[in-house]
Amino acid sequence: MVALQVTPRIAVAPIIVAWLGFGMEPKIAIAAIICFFPIFINTLTGLMQVDEDRLEMFTSMRASRWQVFRHLQLPGAMPVIMAGFKTGISLALIGAIVGEFVSASVGMGVMIQRFSYQLLLAEAFAVLIMLTMMGLILYGAASLADRYVVFWKHDELLTRISTRLKTKYADLLKGSQAQARIAE
């Protein structure tokens, strides 16, 4: 994995184009290769960072490997996985542009090349600004997904969810509070 990570992706791009042809496939493959490693490394790191006390509790309760993964490792790793996803989504855009530089006849990467070769810098910067906006939109979408997937790390969302649940189950809560007073 380390050997693949340190291999310059820009050097691999022409080989992928020669292998997959000149269609959309090489661009997708280059984008996937570029964005794969941050997500993979973060996922692996997150899954390996297990709270030893919680793991001991799961072991003492004879949880299966699947239960440990589903209820302990995966929820604990989600913040780190989502951080890798946010990095990867930005790198995917870079990979798509690299793929267009190498093999495309149309696209924003081709437009930047043509405008730069013709010294039409205003047009080249306009395309660059559009790519930046696309990157910001993709990052924003990943951040929005992060807010809802890892909701327990975002206080205001957690407060909103708990308020909604309290409202939804208010009758049930009143009944349990009344039973607690009777028991006293």
Residues 72-120: pLDDT tens digits? Answer: 888 888 888 888 888 888 888 888 888 777 776 777 877 888 888 888 8
pLDDT at 22: 78
Residues 120-146: pLDDT tens digits? Answer: 888 889 988 998 999 899 999 988 888
Distance (Å, rounded) from C-alpha 160 to C-alpha 151?
Answer: 10
pLDDT at 1 over 80: no
Residue 38: name the closest of 75, 76, 1 by CA. 1
Compute the C-alpha angle 94/100/102, nearest 5°. 105
Structure-model confidence comparison of residues 10 and 172, the more confident one = 10
Distance (Å, rounded) from C-alpha 21 to C-alpha 132?
Answer: 28
pLDDT at 133: 92
Residues 17-38: pLDDT tens digits? Answer: 888 877 788 888 888 888 888 8
Q: Find the helix packing angle between 170-183 and 155-168, rounded to 10°.
A: 80
pLDDT at 37: 84
Distance (Å, rounded) from C-alpha 66 to C-alpha 26?
Answer: 36
Q: Which CATH number fits domain 2-151: 3.30.210.10, 1.10.3720.10, 3.40.190.10, 1.10.340.70?
A: 1.10.3720.10
Residue 28, token pair as written in the block: 């997708």
Distance of CA 153 to the CA centre of its chain: 16
